[in-house]
Amino acid sequence: MLNVDRSLTLEEIDLSSLDFWLLPLSVREGALETLRKTNPVAHFDDPAWMLLSEDEGGFWVVTRHADAMAVSRDPKVFSSAKGAVSIPDLPQEFIEFFGSMISTDDPRHGRLRRVVSRAFTPKRLAHIEDRIETLAHDLVGEASNNKEVDFVSKVAAELPLRIICEMMGVPNEKAHFVLERSNTILGALDPEYVSPETDIDEAILKAAIDLVSLMEEIGEDRIGSPLDDVTSALVNASVDGEVLSASELASFFILLVVAGNETTRNAISWGMVALNENPGQRQLLRSNLNELLPFAVEEIVRWSSPVIFMRRTTTKPTTTLGVRLSEGEKVLLLYGSANRDEDIFEDPYAFRVNRVDNRHLGFGGYGPHFCLGAHLARRELGALFTEVMNQIPNYEVVGEPDRLRSNFINGIKHLHIRTEA
């Protein structure tokens, strides 16, 4: 059970401040609860720390589950095309590298999704799932050989990273090259990943260019000479005569390695924390693993809510949310808040591995942008926690999780555990 601190008044809550997202989780949860109950569609000024060249009019936040669902299901009014992962409008050079499916609307979004989906055949997915189970077993086994280990760097980060790299045909020796660039892109506000003396935009763009160059090299090798990997399928796939361009392949690769790696890593890490803080739930899961594992996976995703927000932009005036919004307004869907909504989840601050009807938004709202990798993430989480329960069931977290400095990713950089308490 999470103890919620409701000490912040409505006037003291400032979601545009990076400091807000660094508050203790109990205080942050209390503030979001206050917004849900008293100002569920709230407006905030542009973040001062972003050093915008001009006033962009601030942004709205949607904190309730029902409203986040409504926005997600109405892409004609709430567009993703102007920077779904960013509060400020993205510069053109950023859109070039980050303009994947996540930041597009139909018809382009539908076209990209159809082409990408063609690469994930049942045969290929079956092979990936077998590999996930083997790798999860090996990684947890290696961790268990140490009395104390950083579970993030040795296990939680390694599983999704290696799976994605193997799927895309990235050579093993390039895996940590990919991880470092991914950390830079989503952890650019954290001094561990980007020095305060470094221009953040330049650091992100350089990391993206590095990933694009890697993907272009791999893609060129696969054209006409395919191997049994997703990249080969993508560069040689055709849906109604259409294929991915080199830039579209590169932007999809960035989406996959950044979103697929970082979000699963952090769900795993927060899951380890939750089970450590709720020993009764850990014992319940262990005692009935086969039956409860699917429910536990969904609860871990709800509990962790790795992506803090996604952005939409209104295409026309609307009062859908009970507040009059003009055309061009920025609207942030706060998934973590929606996943604590008292109207949807019974006892939302309790971590329950047997929670049923878990309609969380950890994979986004149930609209056209529902996470394409949700099935893969669930398989990775299921395989990983099966091994944890079987190989290190009595692990103990040492100290506090080292949280990522970010207003976009609810991340853990380091999590030290004793493998046997």
Token pair, residue 233, equals 């399928």
pLDDT band (50, 70, 90) for residue 236: confident
342-363 b/e (C-beta count within 10 Å ≥ 16 → b) = eebbeebeebbbebeebebbbb
pLDDT computed for residue 382 by the predictor: 97
Q: Which residue has the higher pLDDT, 83 or 24?
A: 24
In this structure, the strands spanning 330-334 and 59-62 are parallel
Given a cut of 80, whether residue 315 has pLDDT beyond it is yes
Task: Please provide the CATH number assigned to the domain covering 10-418.
Answer: 1.10.630.10
Query: What is the pLDDT averaged over residues 238-257?
Result: 76
- Most confident residue range from 146-160, 179-193, 208-222: 146-160
**Long-range contacts from 339-347, C-beta under 8 angstroms, 24+ separation:** 339/65, 339/302, 339/303, 339/305, 340/29, 340/32, 340/33, 340/36, 341/36, 341/64, 341/65, 341/66, 342/33, 342/36, 343/64, 343/65, 343/66, 344/65, 344/66, 345/302
The pLDDT assigned to 111 comes to: 83
User: Which phi and psi angles does 314 have, rounded to 5°?
Assistant: -70, 135
Residue 226's pLDDT band (cuts 50, 70, 90) = confident
Chain mean pLDDT for the chain: 90
Looking at residue 338, its pLDDT comes to 98
* DSSP structure string for 293-305: HHHHHHHHHHHH-
For 34-67, the pLDDT digits (tens) are 999 999 999 999 887 665 556 678 999 999 999 9
**Backbone angles phi and psi of 44, in degrees to 5:** -135, 150
DSSP state at residue 84: T
Rounded CA gap, 404 and 388, in Å? Answer: 24
Amino acid at 156: A
Tell the burial category of 326 from Cβ atoms under 10 Å away from its Cβ (0-12, 13-18, 19+): exposed
Give burial (CB, 10 Å; 0-12/13-18/19+) of 107: exposed
Q: Residue 237 — very low, low, confident or very high, per pLDDT cuts 50/70/90?
A: low
Per-residue pLDDT, averaged over 333-354, amounts to: 97
Mean pLDDT of 166-184: 92
Residue pair 306/362 in contact by the 8 Å Cβ criterion: yes
Residue of higher predicted confidence among 127 and 317: 317
pLDDT at 252 (0 to 100): 84
Distance in angstroms (rounded) separating the CA atoms of residues 383 and 135: 9
* Encoded amino acid at 390, one letter: N
Tens digit of pLDDT for each residue in 258-285?
Answer: 877 888 999 999 999 999 999 999 999 9
Q: Would you give the DSSP letter of residue 77?
A: T
Q: Does pTM surpass 0.85?
A: yes
Tokens of 237: 């796939």
| pLDDT for 238 | 60
pLDDT reported for residue 55: 67
